[in-house]
């Protein structure tokens, strides 16, 4: 079920990618659904736009190249946005006092 949800999320991101740039700030509207869109559109982490026709009927995407540092696409995109990886803190057990 998670795979299907991820595919739908990617399809949503791909369909609305750069859509808000067609309208003045804060006025992006999906006329079919009669809904306002957020000022900042979705960002793509694993795909990049290769071609969009003049009327946005045809949109072609390509998979981004692998990161040269061995990171997956999501980690590399998070790093580019300025998000640092959270440091994992090891939890220790209760301290025990040794008596010799």
> What one-character-per-residue DSSP string does the chain give?
-HHHHHHHHHHHHHHHTTGGGGSSTT--EETTTTEE--SS----SSEEEEEE-TTSS-EEEEEPPPPTTS--HHHHHHHHHTPPPPPPPPPP--------
Judge if 59 and 36 occupy the same domain. no
pLDDT tens figures, 3-30: 777 777 777 777 778 777 778 887 888 8
Q: What is the pTM of this model?
A: 0.56
Q: What's the domain range around 18?
A: 1-41
pLDDT tens figures, 45-94: 778 889 988 888 888 889 887 777 877 777 777 877 787 766 677 777 77
Judge if 26 and 36 occupy the same domain. yes
Judge if 79 and 53 occupy the same domain. yes
pLDDT of the residue at 85: 67
């Amino acid at each position: 079920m998670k795979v299907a949800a991820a595919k739908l999320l990617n399809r949503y991101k791909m369909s609305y990618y750069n859509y808000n740039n067609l309208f003045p700030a804060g006025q992006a509207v999906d006329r079919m659904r009669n809904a306002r869109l957020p000022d900042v559109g979705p960002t793509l982490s694993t795909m990049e736009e290769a071609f969009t026709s003049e009327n946005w009927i045809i949109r072609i995407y390509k998979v981004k190249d692998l990161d040269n540092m061995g990171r997956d696409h999501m980690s590399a995109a998070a790093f580019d946005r300025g998000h640092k990886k959270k440091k994992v803190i090891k939890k220790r057990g209760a301290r025990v006092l040794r008596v010799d």
